[in-house]
Chains A and B, each alone.
Chain A
Amino acid sequence: MNMLSTWFTGSSQSASPFPSFSSDAEIPAIPLPDYTKMQVHCSGRALLAQEMPHDQKIIKAYVQAGMLQEVPAITKQGTLWRCLRCSNKNPGLFGVHACACGRERCVYCRECLEMGRVSACTPLYYWTGPKASGVFTDPLVWSGRLSSGQERASRAAAAAGLRKEELYIWAVCGAGKTEMMFQAVAEALARGERVLWTTPRTDVVRELYPRLAEVFPGVPAAAWYAASPEARPEARLVLATAHQARRFKGAFDVVIIDEVDAFPYVFDPGLQQAVREACSPHAAVIYLSATPGGKEQQRMKSGALSYVRVPRRFHGHPLPVPECRWAGNWRLQLSRGRLPPALLQWCRSRDTAYPLFVFVPSVAAVRPAVEVLRTEGFRCDGVHAEDEKREEKITAFREEQIDILVTTTILERGVTVPKADVAVLGADDDIFTESALVQIAGRAGRNPERPEGDVVFFHYGRTKAMQQTVRHIQTMNREEAAPDE
C-alpha cells in the first residue's frame, strides 16, 4: 500500500516511470572510476549531465555497467507531455522551439526551469546501483524537555517512522512541532534511513535548518530552497521546499510534511506527485499542521487516518483569543495613504517593548501602512514575497531594531518572533481564510515569559472566517491536554 495515499487523494496513481532501486544489486565487477563519490552524489536523485561530478565518458561507463540509467527528461504519455523530473503534466507549462538537437519542435519543461532546463533531448540520469548508506547511532544532541502533549506526539511519530505508517499531527501553533519530530528523525537516522523534511515556504526552511543542524551535529544535512547555494548531495537529513524536493527520486524512507494544509500543497497535484516520487514507495509519512483541511478532519474522525492532537502550547498556556475591532472602511483609508484611526490608536496605546506584526491583505497595502506608522514615530518596515531584503528585515525585527513589521500573508507561518503581538488590518478581506487567521493568531504569545500576547483583527464587517477562527481557538483552549483520542 502506498503510504502517501491520503495526502494524495484525488491524484491518479500512475505507474512510476522510474527504474526500481534495488539495494542488493551487487558491486560492479569492473572497477568504475571514483565509485564512492558517484554513488553518494547520485543516490536517490535525478540528475542532468552537467550536475554530475564527471564528464560524459565516465557517465557512459556507469550507464553501461548498469549503475546509472539514462532516460529522456520529457516523454509523451498519450497526448500529454510529462516531465520526469518535476512530474509536470500541465500543457500550459511546457514550451517548444527549434532546437540545437535538430528538432524543429523540441519540448521543454517550464515548471522546473529554475533547476536547470530540461527538454525532450536532455537525458536525466538515475542511480540504479546500490544506494549510498549511512548509519548514525545516537545522532540527537538535545537536552530540552518535551511537554506531555509533545511527548505523546513524539512517541507516535517515532512508532510511525519505524512501522512505515502515516500519521497526522494536529498541533496548535506554538505547540513545539519541531521538537516533537526529533525522536522520529533520530531513530530513522540510526536505522540508516534518509529523512526528508519538506515545507511549503523558503522562510521556514531557512529558519528550521540551523535548528536541526544544531541538534543533529554529526549528520550531513542540507537545506534546499529557491536560490539556495548548492547543497551537499550526500545529506542524510534533507530540508527542502516542495519544489526543491523534486530533485530527489526514491530517496527517502521517512518524510515529514510540515504545514501540509498550506499553499502550494493544497492546490498543486504536480507537487504532491513530486514529493511522493522523492520518497521510496513504503516511506513513513508524518504530516504536521495546526489547521487540517476538512477532508483530513473527516478521515481522522472516521478512523481512516491515525492522528495525534496537541491542543496545548508547549508552555502550557492557552492560545491568545483574537479580538475583533471595527476599523471602518480601511480600503478607502489606505487608498488615501492613511490608516484607520482604530489601528493607530491601538498601536499608540500598546506597550512598545514588544514587537508587533501588522498583517495586510495585499502587497499594495504594505507601503502606505509603513509610511503612516513611520510618521507616527515607530521604527517600522514592510515585507512581501518579492522583497529581496526580506531576510534582513526579519532579522532586524527579531533583534528589536524594528518595532513594527508590516507584512503580507507571506509570514503567516513558521516565522517565530517570541514575544510578538499581532494585528490584522482588513481581516475581512477574502485572503484571510480561517486557516490563515489561525496561523496568524498563532504568531502571538509564543514565549513562556509572555504567553498571553495580543491578537486584534481590524475589520470592516465581521466575516465567517473571523468568527470560525475565534471559535477554533476557543475550542482548542477548552480541550484537555490529557490523551482523549
Chain B
Amino acid sequence: MNDSSLLSFARGYCLSCGERLQTSWTYNNLFAWRAAHLCDTCTGQLPTITGPACPECSAPEHVEVCADCLSWRRRSEDVRWVKNVSLFHYDDWMQAWTARWKFRGDAVMAAAFYYGLRRAYRQHFRGFVPVPVPLAPLRMQERRFNQAEVLAAGLKVPYVLALERPEREGGKQSKQTKRERLQTVRGFTVPAPEIISGRNVLIIDDIYTTGATVRESAQVLEAAGAASTASLTLIRA
C-alpha cells in the first residue's frame, strides 16, 4: 500500500510555499534531491533539531533524559519502549507549515521531508515495522487523509495499519490542558494482533507533544504482542 509515486506530482514547485523552483529535478546527489522540493528560503527556515536533545524523546536542549521521559519511565506501562525520534521542533514556521499541510489538507507537502524521515529510519529503526497512528473515523472522513499514514508512506518500507481508533468522545485535543491530555484514553485497538506479534514496531505520527498518543499506542501494541515499540515523529513540540 506504499505510495512511492506521490512525488510524481507536485514537481518543480516548493512544496512549502509554492514558489517555482530554480533547481531542476535530479537524483544525482542527496542535496540536489532535497533542493528540488523546497526553495532556498524555506530550507533556510526549517527548524531542524540539531545539537543536544533528550535521547529518549528528541526534546531539544536536553543532554540527559528529560523530566517527561523520566515520568513515563516511572509509570512503566510500556516496558519494551525504545525511544522517540523527531526531525523538527515546533516554531512559527512549522506551525504555519502544519496548518497548510493538515488543516487545509495539502498532503503532498510531507514529501519534502521524506528524505529526512528515511534517513532517521535507517539510522535508528532498521527492521522495525511502521504503524501510523490512526485518526478517528469522523476526522478521517473530514480530512480525507491520515497525516501519519502519509508520513509512513514516505519510508518506502511496507507499513501496517495495525491500530484502530474509535470515535473520540469529548473535546478536541488541542483545547485540553496538558493534564487532561495525558489522562485521555483514546481507546486504540489492534484488531489483527498477528501482523505485529513478535515484531519491533515503529509508531509514526506527525507530532510528539506530551507523548501521550504515542505512549498509549505503544502500550496497546505491546499488549498485542509487539516485541518492542518506538516512534518516529516529524515534530517534537
Contacts and interface: CB of A to CB of B under 8 A. Distances in A.
Interface stretch (A30-38, A112-120, A237-245, A420-428): A112-120
B11 interface: yes
A98 B10 contact: no
Contacts, number: 70
A60 interface: no
A139 B11 CA distance: 49
Contacts of B3: 96-98, 104-105
A99 interface: yes
Interface range, A side: 20 to 34
Most buried by A among B105, B108, B149, B150: B105
A119 B141 CA distance: 13
Contacts of A101: 144
A94 interface: yes
B145 interface: yes
Contact of B108 (A97, A99, A117, A121): A97
Contacts of B105: 108, 113, 117
Contacts of B6: 95-97
Contact of A113 (B9, B104, B140): B104
Contacts of A117: 104-105, 144
A113 B1 contact: no
B56 interface: no
Contacts of B193: none
Nearest to B100: A113
B155 to A, nearest CB: 14
Contacts of A482: none
B106 interface: yes
A271 to B, nearest CB: 14
Given A94-B9, A94-B10, A95-B6, A119 B108 contact: no
Contacts of A110: 10, 18, 106, 108
Size bracket, chain B contacts: 20 to 34
Given A106-B144, A108-B107, A98 B149 contact: yes
A231 interface: no
A96 B144 contact: no
Contacts of A97: 3, 6, 107-108, 144-145, 149-150, 153
Interface in B122-146: 140-141, 143-146
A243 to B, nearest CB: 13
A97 B11 CA distance: 15
Contact of B11 (A91, A98, A106, A108): A91
Among B104, B141, B145, the most chain A Cβ lie within 10 Å of the Cβ of: B145
Nearest to A121: B144
Interface string B97-112: 0001000111110000
Contact of A98 (B100, B141, B153): B153
Contacts of B18: 110
Contacts of A96: 3, 5-6, 9, 107-108
Interface string B1-29: 10101100111110000100000000000
A98 B140 CA distance: 11
Nearest to A99: B144
A93 interface: yes
B144 A95 contact: no
Interface in A96-153: 96-101, 104-108, 110, 113-114, 117, 119, 121
Contacts of A105: 3, 5
A96 B108 CA distance: 7
A92 interface: yes
A105 B5 CA distance: 9
A104 B104 contact: no
Contacts of A93: 10, 13
Interface of B: 1, 3, 5-6, 9-13, 18, 100, 104-108, 140-141, 143-146, 149-150, 153
5 tightest Cβ-Cβ pairs between the two chains A and B: A95-B108, A97-B107, A117-B105, A97-B145, A92-B12
Given A92-B10, A93-B13, 6 more contacts: A92-B13, A96-B5, A106-B144, A108-B105, A113-B105, A117-B144
14 contacts: A92-B13, A95-B108, A96-B5, A97-B3, A97-B145, A98-B3, A98-B150, A100-B141, A100-B144, A101-B144, A104-B3, A110-B18, A114-B104, A117-B104
